[in-house]
Amino acid sequence: MPSLLILNGPNLNLLGTREPEIYGSDTLADIEALSKVRAAEHDLTVECLQSNSEGALVDAIQDAKSKHCGVVLNAGAYTHTSIALRDAIASVDLPVIELHVSNVFAREQFRHYSYISEVCIGVICGFGITGYGLAIDALAARMEAVP
């Protein structure tokens, strides 16, 4: 069965307790459960990983090429700082969707720039954890459209 990688970056392990006025009360476990259910609706499986380490995220993206059909990436703050993540995404032949729980464009100016957007197939932000389901739907639709 085809598989997707749901990859979450720094501080996302703190969802549910970290700045709930911005990120809400949903947890990383809620994201993983939602992702598994949504993927199953498309006859897909998911592997969920979270790391606070930039290198571990790069490794996961590189490893995804041999295991997965696509990636949902919430790179957290690394979105705005990591050329290494950008290069990792560009180096694998996989569709990657950039995702943010909050609307980064309604926040601090430094969050308005993404190093990874130009190498992702799309960006979803501001819909809370619902965005993960939207990203899975988008990847599934892309897989159906591209034989």
Active site residue ranges: 23, 100
Phi, psi for residue 3 in degrees, rounded to 5:
-130, 150
User: Which residues, other chains included, contact 28 with Cβ-Cβ below 8 Å and sequence gap of 6+?
Assistant: 8, 12, 13, 15, 16, 50
- The CA-based dihedral angle spanning residues 35, 38, 43, 46, taken in that order and rounded to the nearest 10 degrees: 0
